[in-house]
Each structure stands twice: as C-alpha cells, then as structure tokens.
Structure 1
C-alpha cells in the first residue's frame, strides 16, 4: 500500500518535470534587433541597508546603452539605517544625465517591499515599470532588449532571467543556493512555456503601469510579506493578459548568493510562506508534488534502513527523480553558462529533500527574520 502511494507520487512528480522540460524548450531564445528606442521605462529599486551593494548597481545602470531620456530611476528607501540614502543622493549629483529620484516608502501594509514599489509606481512618469533589487547588477543591453521584446510581443508583463554573479570561490551552502535557484528559474520558464506561469522574480520584472493600476496593484495580498512578483503575475493571468518570458542572455540580471546559512533559510522561508496563497490549480499541483516527492523519499529511506521497505523500488524512484531534476536544472545552467556548478549536483540532490521538506513545514509555523525585521508565517 505504501509502496503504491510512493509510485503514485513519483508518477505525478515526473509528469510535472516532463511538462516543465517541454515548456522550457518551447520558449525560444530572444536576440535584440536594436530597434529604435520607443518604450520608456521607470526603473524601481526598493532598498533597505544596501550601502554595500548600491554603488555597483548604480554603476551598472550608468552603463546602460539606452537613451537617458527614455528611462528614470526611482530609488525607494525602506527605513535604511546605514549610508544608503547618502550614497543615492551623492550619485544623483555626480551623474546629472541620469534621471534619479530617491523616495521614502509610504507604509500601508505588512509587506514593506510592496509598499515601496506601490509608492514608486504612483510617482513613475513612464508607461512601463521595470523592477530590480539593490543587490543586483543589470546588463548594458537590459532596456534595449526589453524594448525590442515589448515591440515584438506586446506583452503586458515580461518576466526576465536572473542569475547568480560568476564568482569562483563559494561556500558549500552558496553552491547549494545556486543550484536551487537554477531550479526555480527553470520552473519559471517551463511553467510559462506550457501556459501555466505561477513564478517570476521581482529582480527582473517588467509590466505596464496602467495595467498594474487597473489590477489594483498589490491589493488582496499585501498581508503577505513577499510576493511582489508572483501575486502580481497571478493578477495578470486572472485577467487573461499577455505574459512573456524574455529568454535572452542580454537581459540577465545578476544577483548574489546569501552570505550565510541562516540568511538562506530565512529567504527560502519567506518565499515558501506565500505558497498557500497561490490560486491556480497547476501551482497547487506543482507545490504539492514537490513537497510529497521529497517528503516521501525521506520516509522511504528510513523505512529501507529499518528493512520495512525493499531497497530496489525506492532506489528506482530516487534515480528517476535524480535524472529528471538533472535535465531540467542543466537546461537552466546551460542557458546561464553555469554548467560547472552541475559538478555539485550529486551531493546537492541528496541534501535537497531534507532542506525542501524543512522549509515547506517551517514556513507554515515559524516566523522568519529578513532585512532586520521579523515576519510571521
């Protein structure tokens, strides 16, 4: 009976992975055609205590190959306690060609980041909003590539690729962080490729301002700390609005891995805490399949250890999952030119079921700490 249940869970999980792999391959790579700059962007960047990261981000924005008249930069301070505001003000004076504004977040909800974005959207003067994070770096053809994609697709929302910066020395938990992050990027693209998007990343997200306002912004989910990206995607999908993924190496925004293991735990708990609020059937099926697959493998391993389960069927299920996961993650690693990180796939695949199961359960009951604040699950 229990073995049959394991096989049913494995069948559902493998069906999900095959669908995501198919979806990934359906999204074609996009190359900018260097069309005339027609789209004007308001770049929104919330920040809190990011003095260490803001200079690099601002330098990358300075290097954008796009007319300065066609974009503005809205830096939104969320009660920073370091020199972040001073850095923004200094840069505004030193780089007069760039249209830079520093705003103060108007807190209205339990989600500081959503409040920051909502504050900036109200001040934005251009028709398209594009968001990123203060610990990111944007590529020089970022806006040009989005411009060409919008003119080609007329999408109301465009999800962009996000990758970890290519640093040679990393701690083991940071390697694990990157492989897990690659799996999330692959899932994002795969789900969109089969017409069932439920994930995206606010570090590289673009949408029409007027549509954001008509949809009511973040109303309805602003009691959840995170989700400034996925819940907005959910709203756009509910209104049958065109959503696309910009699968282009010229649009990849780079971010950093977490600096210590507790930060990694807190970040994943923050992300997982929004899962119960997903509304689409596919997103619920995906989340439940992933949780049950990992949880059942842990239980099965213990049952094999105590000779309650036979070893061979459990090993077969694990190998099927191992190979399906590898194919999906490798597709993302190849796109981001991070194939070398796959050398660590074996040991990460052994750790992941325990990590994933802990995060899923803990996010339901345990409060988490993020950016100097405590949040309830």
Structure 2
C-alpha cells in the first residue's frame, strides 16, 4: 500500500511538471521574421576537432546565409585536429565563388579541463563584434539564421538568447528515438522559459553580448567541468538579469544536426550530458532532473515488481499510460513547431524503451567517466 502511494505521488508531481512545461511552451509566442534592415554585427564561434566528414554540410549552409557578409565574422577554433579539417575550411571559404567571408582559424589554447570552453573564451577575446553566436561544427545553419537573431535583438533588446535545435533526416528507430528525446528536451527548454524558469539551452544555437560574457567572468566557476558551456552560462546570465534572458522561438532560427548512428555513441553522449547536471546551481534544474529520474526509475521498478508478481500489471499499465500521454502532449507541441510530426510514429516504441535508457545513463554518469572527441574524462 505504501508503495502505491509513492507511485501516485511521484506520478502526480511528474504530471504537474510536464503540464506546466506544456503551458509554458504555448506562452512563448512564435517569432515571425519580417522584412527589416539588419543592424547587428555578429562574431560566430565554431570550435572543431576532426570534423572533416561534417564540415562540408556546415560550410554549405554558411555560404547560403542571407545576412550581409560584412556584418559577421566567423572564428573557427581548432582543437588539435589531425585530419583535413583546417585545409577544408581554407579551401572552401577562400574559394567560395561568392562574396568573401570574414573568417579566421585559431589554434586552441588549453587552460582548463574543458577544451570547448577554452576555445570559446579564446575566440571571444579575439572577437571584433559585440554579439557572440556559438554553434557546432556538425550543424546545419538555416539561411535566415542571423536575420532571425538580428530582428529579435532589435525588437526585444536582450543580452542572452537561447534558440532551437533539432535533428535532421532521422531514419530508422535509433535516430528517431534520439529525435523524440531531443524534442522532449526542446519542449522542456521552451516550456521552462515560458514559466520564467529557464534551465536548459544548447550551445549549438546560442547568442549573447560579449560584454555580458565578460561581466559574468565567462566560464569561471565551472571551467573544470568538461561540458556545459551553455547551461552554466545560462545560469549565470539568469542570476545576473533574468529579464534580459530570452528564447528565440523562430522557425527561421532552427539549427539542425544529425543523430548518432550507434547505441554506444548515443549512451556516451547522454552520459556526458548527464554528468554535468550534478554541478548545476539552478535549484529548479536540479529539481526537474530529480523528478524525471524518479518517474523513469519508478517505471523500471514497477516492471520488475510486476514481473515477479509483487505488483499488479494493471497498476503498471496505468502509470505507464499516464506518463505516455503527458509526455506526448509536450513532444507533440515541439514536433509541431519543428514540422516533424511525421516522426511521431516512433514515439510509442520509444516510450517503452526510454525509462530503461534514462536509468542506465544516470547510473553510468554517476559511476563512470565518459569519452568526448577521443578524450577520456572522469567525474
């Protein structure tokens, strides 16, 4: 009986949380891009390490940007690549056949346990313009990307902007499982901003004032944590001035990347994401993580208890259906925004697997290190 009350309590709290994210998602109105005169100049920062396979797609999207070429620069930061990435950047951007792009490639200088944070800090120290935009070397930039940021900056006058990301061309169950996960994360991200509790963002699509970065002392305080260049900066920016921290919910600003192609790579990536959560200072972010983990662990426990006859299968089914429905509400809203509703056919099967996947990732994040860009990190 006590266990049943625990099940009811955890599930009720989870439903309230996800329902609030769903309401918050709708409160962030979609930003419609209209004709305007660009005024903002951007310094785009792209750290990379051995990305020769992904760079052609990124470079093609850079060449297709509609924003005036003399209004932005790109700083590529080479983190010890030993492939042809540097040569590819030079040959493609110098001989692009269109108007010249202001870019440079700098060698990363490691001064912490986080090469990516070192790369961003180094690039910001050399940036010419007041607005910093970060993205990843495996991303695809939409052609109105900078136009969207500029229009939003002119209208809202923010200091920090989080923007949307998703997976492109997801094929098969593994990649669509990842897409469902990312859609849920994006739904929670937007929902968090909507209820004025921002706790997530993604460094693949992030913009902030250079002066804000300096005022916040950059990544000081979390530079020894390998990842988290995005969320930790969001926490500091929100604490500094929450009314200047915004989410750009604009389809013209969606940066895409590609889902991973193996379960081992996926688990490694998610372990890396989870490993940084213990260092979060945002109490709401920690609470969300605890609630989500508790609900997933509860379902795994219920499956085991039902298998050995201690729990009635009907009770397990009810808990699963409640979670299934409330999760679907948020994921559907995100899929609708990203024009990816046709991928929801994989949601039913993904929802069975996800609790086990989540618990496994959490366990590995607590007791095991992870690899990132061929480097090993310990907790």
TM-score, normalized by the shorter chain, greater than 0.5:
yes
Residue-by-residue CA offset, 1:195-217 (whole Å, 9 max, x unaligned): 00110011100000110111011
C-alpha distance in structure 2 between counterparts of 1:90 and 1:209, whole Å = 29
For 2:119, the equivalent position in structure 1 comes to: 116
Gaps of 5+ in 2: none
- Please give the alpha-carbon distance, in whole angstroms, between the structure 1 residues aligned to 2:300 and 2:190: 28
What residue is the counterpart of 2:160 in the other structure? 157
Aligned to 1:363: 365
Greater alpha carbon shift after TM alignment, 228-237 vs 254-263: 254-263
Offset of residue 270 of structure 1: 0.6
Q: Distance in 2 between matches of 1:11 and 1:315?
A: 15
Match of 1:8 in 2: 9
Q: Determine if contact 2:49/2:373 at 8 Å carries over to the other structure.
A: yes
Match status 1:71 vs 2:72: yes
Identify the residue that residue 193 of structure 1 maps to in structure 2: 194
1:41-99 superposed Cα distances (whole Å, 9 cap, x missing partner): 00000000001111221121111111111100101100111100111122342146110
What do the CA deviations read for 1:314-359 (whole angstroms, capped 9, x no partner)?
Answer: 3222111110001101111111111111101111000000000111
Query: Is the counterpart of residue 214 in structure 1 residue 215 in structure 2?
Result: yes
Which of 128, 142, 145 aligns to 1:142? It is: 145
Whole-Å separation in 2 of the counterparts to 1:361 and 1:199: 21
Q: Return the offset for 1:274.
A: 0.8
Q: Aligned residue for 1:81?
A: 82
Residue 277 (1) aligns with residue 279 (2): yes
1:131 corresponding residue in structure 2: 134
- From 335, 338, 359, the equivalent of 2:337 is 335
Structure 1: tracts of 5 or more residues without a match: none
SS in 2 for 1:265: helix
2:309 is aligned, of 289, 307, 316, to: 307
Q: Which aligned runs of 4 or more in structure 1 are off by greater than 4 angstroms?
A: none
Equivalent in the alignment of 1:346: 348
Q: What SS does structure 2 have at the residue aligned with 1:44?
A: strand
Is the 1:192–1:244 contact (alpha carbons within 8 Å) kept by the matching residues of 2? yes
Deviations 1:184-233 (A, max 9, x none): 11111011110001100111000001101110111101111110100000
TM (norm. structure 1) is 0.97
Question: How many Å apart are 1:153 and its aligned residue?
Answer: 0.7
Aligned to 1:175: 176
- 2:322 is paired with a residue of what secondary structure? helix
Q: How many residues align?
A: 375
1:117-139 deviations in whole A, cap 9, x for unaligned? 11100000000000110011101
